[in-house]
Structure 1
Amino acid sequence: MKNTKFIVSIVSCLLLAFVGRVVFADETSADGYSVSANIPDFQTDTNVSYFDLLLEPKEQKEISIHLVNNSKETATFIADVNNAATNSNGVIDYSKTNFEKDRSAKYELNKLVTPKTQEITLASGEAKDVAFQLKMPDENFKGIILGGIHVEKKDAASKKLEGTGIRNKYAYVIGVKLQNSMDKIDPDLKLLTVKPGLQNSYTTIFAKLQNPTATIMNKLAVNAKITKKGSKEVLYETKSNSLSVAPNTNFNYPIDLKKQKIQPGEYTVTIDATKTETGQKWHLAKNFTIQSDAVKKINKEAIIKKEPINYLPYMIVVGIVLVVVILFLSYKLMRQQNKGR
């Protein structure tokens, strides 16, 4: 099986705590190109390598990135303006070109920064500044609008490591953070839905968590438990530390069922979460029902742990039968001996 593996080159400074694990590169990647932000004179924090912009409503600006093709061949690149998402690992993700926005999101970066997609062809050794037009929302907003400019070589997916089935794909992200003010917003966390499914072919319960606020939640610790409805006995439990959740996004938090089949019934999921930086806590709970029809297909496709056969009950039954047979034969033998006398 051919797996696509994103390897974002760790050759630049990390985006500060507000973005988490995304990195920005200004050196050449293994694919022979480099990307960097042309930091504008209206930048808020000139010490960072992403666009950190504090602008007025309706204000219009141009921003640009610097793209260099250091390979020996002409190459084509795709530059997408993406909204910040949150993946199931609790990591802020800038690579998703299309995903359903959260209902709490009033604005989206790829509608404020245009064009949404650009295709750039560069000869060997050629460099170019790629421009984007930014128009702030008409109305004043609180918090931040977050996303990034994702740059990838067009034919990157066709590269294959010799002797392996792994395809390597290199990509760069230049973050974009928009604000009208520096006022801080208190984060919030909500539990929207719960449903069974598969993650990497393993049975999983997905608890959809939402950050409905226009701020990033960093260093979020989550403890999720599943019990039978009305019971305190914990059937399954998953813990995570240092999750990051993008503003106005939701994600499916996976609760591992330990390779066991999903059983129909009525359950309760309980989420205890703590923002370790501030000590802010959330206690969330939701009842949910798993229908038998819904899990048949899931269990059929899942990798299920085969439980070892417990032979003890069978051994006990066989032992009892043997004892009965021996006693019966002994009884018959004794009767025959008594008759012969």
Structure 2
Amino acid sequence: MTLSYKYVVFTSLIIALLFSLGFFTIDTAHVWADTRSNTEPQFSVVPQFSPEQTDTQLGYYHLQVKRGEKYPLRVRIFNNNQTSSVYFQVQLRNAGNTAHGQIAYATSQQLKDIPRNYKPLTALSATENKRKVLVPAHSYKDVLLKLKIPTKGFKGTVAGGILVTRLTAQADKIQSESSSSNVTNKFSMTLPVLVSQDFTQKIAPVLSLRKVAIVSSGRQSYLSVALLNRSPVIFGKIHLHIKLSVHKKTIYNKSLRDFQMAPYAVLPLLLKLPMQDKQSKKYSLTIEIHSGKFNKKIVHQWFPITP
């Protein structure tokens, strides 16, 4: 069959257009294959539940335990890299709070004012808190951690998480052709862990103001506030109303909604003030806290703070 001249010209134009738009590529798959191990996690983690798990439909550990007993925390790590074995670090951590009002289930935040009859998750560990494991290419491995519940038990909920981090090998670094600098990415995933002897137990939150200050950075002033949850409960759906006054004149008014707090953890807030403050006055801070039937008002006054 003979093709017309117009058809040949039209086809040539279409092919040229596809090349210009990138539908046809030359030698780009090789570059992508070299970099994907450093720009994609290439792994996943799945909890393997024990009989103490209250709901197997959850994507995290929710264990109802008894005092004096041991319980397994088993996590399955999938290495989705098709060609290389990969090292992973598995670490047990305590829960804390972020500055955005959310619970971080694998934070390095130090828990504050913990009573003797309460143990954070890392203190319940009956195995090493940090493990290094090698998972073969395109395979998986189960890692077993264990918890030991104190013989005297505990009230409330212990919160934390299993942090799984892909350890970047030397071969997994991208070296720029234009410079000698190395660029690496670090990928981590967290499985939350909640442990209680009785999740239905009603315990009222106890909140206190741990720290307040006016801090400056350049020409900008900030209100730095630290609220402490002094109770063994996960406190959620928190609405905060914060007001800062100078000689009965309100200079800052802010409402924050849907915050959360982990047990015995500090909620750090850094709030941008609308003007530069000279720190030469007497301040009055009012914080109203609401969550369901819980209501609390904190009033704090303080005098000038030297920068």
TM-score of the superposition, structure 1-length normalised? 0.69
Q: Match of 1:81?
A: 92
Q: Identify the residue that residue 194 of structure 2 maps to in structure 1.
A: 177
Residue in structure 2 matched with residue 112 of structure 1 by the alignment: 124
How far apart, in 2, do the equivalents of 1:79 and 1:199 lie? 37
Deviation at 1:46, TM superposition (A): 2.1
Q: Deviations over 1:300-333 (max 9, x none)?
A: xxxxxxxxxxxxxxxxxxxxxxxxxxxxxxxxxx
Q: Which residues of 2 match residues 4-153 of structure 1 at below 5 A?
A: 30-71=40-81, 72-97=83-108, 99-104=109-114, 106-113=118-125, 114-153=127-166
CA contact (8 A) 1:236 1:256 kept: no
Alignment of 1:188-337 (within 5 A): 188-197=206-215, 202-228=220-246, 231-258=247-274, 260-275=276-291, 278-292=292-306, 295=307
Q: Which runs of 4+ in 1 moved over 6 A?
A: none
Bigger CA radius of gyration:
1
Q: For structure 1, which runs of at least 5 residues remain unmatched after alignment?
A: 1-28, 296-341
- 1:186 counterpart SS class: coil
Contact 1:85 1:249 in 2 (8 A): yes
Deviation per residue, 1:188-231 (Å, 9 max, x gap): 32212212336899531212111111111111111111112xx3
Partner amino acid, structure 2, of 1:30: E
Q: What displacement does 1:42 show?
A: 2.2
Q: Distance in 2 between matches of 1:286 and 1:268?
A: 6
User: Deviations along 1:106-149, whole A, 9 cap, x unmatched?
Assistant: 31101112321111122211311000011012212221000000
Report the Cα distance in structure 2 between the residues aligned to 1:199 and 1:274, rounded to whole angstroms: 31
User: 1:81: how far off?
Assistant: 0.5
- Opposite residue 154 of structure 1, the aligned amino acid is L
SS of 2:106's partner is coil
Deviation readout 1:234-257 (Å, 9 max, x if unpaired)? 112232110011111112222321
Once residues 200 and 124 of structure 1 are traced to their aligned partners in structure 2, the CA distance between those partners, rounded to angstroms, is 50
Partner of 1:7: none
1:82 deviates by: 0.6
| Percent pairwise identity | 23
Aligned length: 259
1:4 is aligned to none
CA distance in 2, matches of 1:222, 1:168: 36
RMSD: 2.9
1:186 alignment partner AA: A
Evaluate the alpha carbon distance shift between residue 240 and residue 69 of structure 1 in structure 2; reply closer, same or farther with a 3 A threshold. Answer: same
- Output the amino acid matched with 1:49: G
Asked if structure 2 preserves the Cα contact closer than 8 Å seen for 1:87 and 1:93, the reply is yes
1:84: Cα distance to partner?
Answer: 0.3
Cα distance in 1 for residues equivalent to 2:72 and 2:212: 43
